[in-house]
Amino acid sequence: MDLEKICLEVCELAKETGSFIRNEARKFSTDMVEVKGSNNFVSYVDKTSEKKIIEGLSKLLPGSGFIAEEETTKESEAVFQWIIDPLDGTTNFIHGLPPYAISIALMEGKDIVLGVVYEIFASECFYAWKDSKAYLNGKEIQVSKSAKISDSLIATGFPYYDYSLVKPFLDSLNYFFVNSHGVRRIGSAATDIAYVACGRFDAFYEYGLHAWDVAAGSIILKQAGGKVSDFKGGENCIFGSEYIASNSNIYSEFLEIVNKFLSR
């Protein structure tokens, strides 16, 4: 299987779908929003985008399965599974606020072998495949070289349905406020991870995430020289809802701090 060829074709599909989302953003209003749950929103833009992506990927890799946020198709037992978020950052989108992104990953068995994150507002396409370099719009990217948390900019996301760790999460924020270059919350986990991959952020952590939020970014980050794990340093970060990502230099220090505050 030519993963490079498939990855570049997925990039084009993401860009085409991103163009649709960008055009819809010009005429979108909040009365078009559906509420899925507490602070969890969806619109026809998410659903239509997912259908476009699934249709394109089905032609690209016939017989593959799908794990998709809006569930426009059912998960299968196929060896190859696409993990899709058609609009990561929906709350940003409905308020006309960047960033928001398309996230597409390909999983073979239990391994993520391809990832594309297309940040729509800035037209930035991040991508990588197994054993490749990581790229942004055709140029190689790498994680930052920051060697300690005190010299790092940290990204995070706020919980919107699981509030069980709010107190320790706020305590962790307080720590990073005092002991780093600062904390940013931009509202799109896929974009956060891509930004760690290209060195804009040095580290990212969040709990309550889903596979479609992090799968594509994870392989991009790894191929850019970074590390990912759950809050205990284990590998259950794609489907386990706990996620940290950083450059390799600060990973151990970052993991120790996050684990101190947020380990269950």
In this structure, which topology does domain 149-262 adopt according to CATH? D-Maltodextrin-Binding Protein; domain 2 (3.40.190)
* Alpha helices for 104-240 (secondary structure H): 166-179, 189-197, 211-223
Q: If you count them, how many residues does the chain have? A: 264
Total Cβ atoms within 10 A of residue 249:
20
Which of 201, 13, 238 lies closest to 113 in space, CA to CA?
238
Going by the DSSP 8-state scheme, the letter that residue 181 receives in this structure is S
Total Cβ atoms within 10 A of residue 30:
10
- Give me the pLDDT at residue 77, please: 77
Amino acid at 117: V
Adjacent-strand bridge partners of 126 = 117, 136
Going by the DSSP 8-state scheme, the letter that residue 74 receives in this structure is -
- Give me the pLDDT at residue 147, please: 98
Residue 36 burial by Cβ neighbours in a 10 Å radius (0-12, 13-18, 19+)? middle
CATH homologous superfamily of 3-140 equals Fructose-1,6-Bisphosphatase, subunit A, domain 1 (3.30.540.10)
- Give me the pLDDT at residue 66, please: 95
- Give me the pLDDT at residue 39, please: 45
Domain residue limits, the chain: 3-140, 149-262
Q: What Rg value do the Cα atoms of the chain yield, rounded?
A: 17
Total Cβ atoms within 10 A of residue 248:
11
pLDDT, one tens digit for every residue, the chain (264 residues)? 899 999 999 999 999 999 999 998 887 766 556 655 544 456 788 889 999 999 999 999 999 999 997 765 554 678 999 999 999 998 899 889 999 999 999 999 999 999 999 999 999 999 999 999 999 999 999 999 999 999 999 999 998 888 889 999 999 999 999 999 999 999 999 999 999 999 999 999 999 999 999 999 999 999 999 999 999 999 999 999 999 999 999 999 999 999 999 987
Residue 41 burial by Cβ neighbours in a 10 Å radius (0-12, 13-18, 19+)? middle
- Give me the pLDDT at residue 254, please: 98
Contact 237, 112 (CB under 8 A): no
- Rounded to an integer, what distance in angstroms lies between the CA atom of residue 177 and that of residue 104? 32
